[in-house]
Amino acid sequence: MNKYAVIDIGSNSIRYGEEHDGSFPRKEVYTTRLGSGLNSTGRLADDTMEKSIAVIKELASRAKGNGLIPRAYATSAVRDASNGRDFADRAERECGVPVEILSGEDEARFAFRGAAGGGIMLDIGGASMQIVTKDGGVSFRAGCVRCGDIAREATGAPDCDTDPLAQRDAVIEYMDGAVTVPDGLHGDLTGVGGTITTLAALKADIKEFTAEAVDGSVLTRSDVEELIEKLILMGGARREHPLLRERHDVILYGAYILARAMELIGRDELRVSCSDGMEGYLAVLKEREGAEDRPSLWKLFSAFMRIGAFTFGGGYAMLPMLERECVEKTSWVSHDELLDYFAIGQCTPGVIAVNTATFVGKKQRGFWGAFCATAGVVLPSFVIICVLTALLANFADIPAVKYALHGIRVAVGVLILNTVIKLVKEKIKDPLGYVLAAAAFLLVALPQTFKLPFRISPVFVVIGAALIGVIRGRMGGKTK
C-alpha cells in the first residue's frame, strides 16, 4: 500500500501532513494568505502565489525525500479565482506534485468524512464555509479571509481593530445574504478548520497548540462571544500571542462567522475536531489510487448496469445517479472529474452516458475496465429496446401505456433541469461564463423553438466556447 504526504492548499494557509497508520500524527501550517484580495479582484495575487509555490515545492521535496508520495488539493481560493487553474498547473509543473482543485461539494464531503461523519459538520476556512451532513453538503463563500476583505471594504476600516463591532455587523449582513442553512438538520454539531481549533485552544488557555488539548473539546455560543470580547480587547497584542501570530488579523472575522453560523444552524454548542478534510482526502486517495482497492471488473460492470437499468432520460438525466455511484459511494472519480468527463462526452461521438462510463472504467482498470463499464451501461438499454420493439406495436395505443410514457417524459424533464442547475452552480463562476451560457442557449434554442430559417449546430457552439475560453485564459495569464 502506498504511503502519502498530503498538502492542503487553503485560502489562508497551506497545511502538510505525513501519513502514519492511515492518519496524520502531526500537521504543519504555513500561512501564505493565498486568498487575500480575491473578493475584490477575482484573482490570486502574484506575491501570494509566489509564496505558496515556494512552500509547496519545499513540502513536496521533503515528502519525496521521506519516501512518501506527495499529493495536493486546493480549495475555495483556487477554485474561485479566474487564474486558479493556472496556479494549479504551475504548482504541478514546478513542484512535481499533482494539484486537485476540489469542488465545494467534494471539499465538504472530505471534511465530513475526516471529522467522523455523524450529525452536522461546520468547516470554516479562509475563503469558504461548509455545512455538511451524511446526505451531502453545501459550500458558501464565507471564510475568514474573504469576510475580512468584505468587512473592511464595507466599513472603510484599514484593519480588524478599527470599529470591530461595525465590521461584525458587516460580516453578519453578508452571511445573512450568502448563507442558506439546509432544512431538517439533525444531530450534534462538529466543527473543523483553523478558526475553530484556534478558538478552542484559546479557551483551553494553552500557549502551544496540541491536538490532545483541543480535539473533542466543546465550544458553546457563550464561549465564542467571550472569546470575541477577549480578542477585541487584546488589540494589537494578538500579534505577539503564540497561538495568534499567523492569524492575528483574521481570527476575529473567523469568530464572527462561527458565532453567526451556530445561530443560523440553531446549535448552542459545538464539538471540536482536529481531524478534517486532510484525513478525508487521504481515505479517498487510498480508495482511488491504491492498487488493492481498485474495483473488480465485475464491480464496474454491475455498477454501471444498475445505472443503465434504473436511469431514464439519457445522459443528462443520468448525472445524479452517476454522481452518487462513482463519486459519493465509491470515490472512483472526483465530482469535478465526472463533470469533465461529461463535457468531453458532449464533444465526442456517441452517447454521453456511454462515453462517461468508458472514461471512468478506463481510469480504474484500463482497457478492460472501460470495456466492462461500457458494456454494463449499454446492456440494459439493449435488452429493454429489443423487448419494447417486439411489444410496443401491440400496446402503444393502450391508454395506460400512453399515460405512463407521458409521465415519464415529465420526470425526465425535471431530471435534466436538475442537472442543468448543478452544472451552472459548479461551472459558471464569472460574468463571462454567464454571457457564454446565455449566448449558447439563444443560438441553439431560439432557431428551433421559433422555427427560424437558420440553424446553428451545437458542435460549432461548443467549439466557439472552447476558443473563447482559450483566448480568455491566455489574456488572463498576461494580465498583472
| 171 pLDDT above the threshold of 60 | yes
Please name the helix (run of DSSP H) or strand (run of DSSP E) that holds residue 192, with its range, or none.
Answer: strand 189-192
Dihedral of alpha carbons 350, 339, 326, 68, sign: positive
> Residue holding cell 451531502?
136
Dihedral of CA 186/187/189/193: which sign? negative
pLDDT averaged over the chain?
87
State the pLDDT at residue 477: 45
User: What letters, b where the CB count within 10 A reaches 16 and e where it falls short, cover 384-421?
Assistant: eeeeeeeeeeeeeeeeeeeeeeeeeeeebeebbeebee
The pTM of this model reads 0.64
Q: What is the pLDDT of residues 57-103, one digit of tens each?
A: 999 999 999 989 999 999 999 999 999 999 999 999 999 999 999 98
Task: Answer yes or no: is pLDDT of 329 > 80.
Answer: no
The amino acid occupying position 43 is R
What is 113-156 written as a DSSP string? HHTTS-SEEEEE-SS-EEEEETTEEEEES--HHHHHHHHHHHHT
Length of the chain counted residue by residue:
480
93-129 residue pLDDT tens: 999 999 999 988 888 889 998 886 679 999 999 999 9
For the ranges 155-159, 281-285, 344-348, 355-359, the maximum mean pLDDT occurs at: 155-159
Is 50 exceeded by the pLDDT of residue 267?
yes
> For residue 35, how many other CB atoms are within 10 A of its CB?
30
pLDDT for 290 beyond 80 = no
Q: Name the pairing type of β-strands 136-140 and 27-31.
A: unpaired
What is d(CA 231, CA 350) in angstroms, rounded to the nearest whole number?
60
Average confidence (pLDDT) over 448-456: 77
Which CATH architecture group holds 4-101?
2-Layer Sandwich (3.30)
pLDDT in tens, 349-371: 777 778 888 999 998 888 999 99
443 close to 461: Cβ distance less than 8 angstroms: yes
Q: Is the pLDDT of residue 314 over 80?
A: no
CA distances 412 to 2, 317, 326, 415, Å, are 43, 7, 21, 5
Q: Each residue of 219-263: pLDDT tens digit?
A: 999 999 999 999 999 999 999 999 999 999 999 999 999 999 999
- Mean pLDDT, residues 202-208 taken together: 94
Amino acid 370: pLDDT: 92
For the domain made up of 107-277, give the CATH fold. Answer: Nucleotidyltransferase; domain 5 (3.30.420)
Count Cα atoms within 13 angstroms, Cβ side, for 47.
4
CB atoms within 10 A of CB 445: 10
- Give the pLDDT score at 444: 82
Instruction: Considering the chain, tell me which residue range(s) the CATH 3.30.420.150 domain(s) occupy.
Output: 107-277
Those residues whose C-beta lies under 8 Å from the C-beta of residue 230, and which sit 6 or more positions away, are 202
Coil, helix or strand at residue 328: helix
What is the structure's pLDDT at 430?
77
Q: Residue range 420-441: average pLDDT?
A: 79
5 pLDDT tier (thresholds 50, 70, 90): very high
Whether residue 388 has pLDDT greater than 80? no
Highest mean pLDDT among 202-206, 305-309, 319-323, 421-425: 202-206
Q: 172 falls in which pLDDT band (50, 70, 90)? A: very high
Residue 348 C-alpha from the chain's centroid: 26
| Range name among 161-170, 366-375, 412-421, 458-467 with the lowest pLDDT average | 412-421
pLDDT at 141 over 70: yes
How confident is residue 20, by pLDDT bands cut at 50, 70 and 90? confident
Which residues of the chain are in CATH 3.30.420.40 domains? 4-101
Task: Please tell me which residue, 283 or 389, carries the higher pLDDT value.
Answer: 283
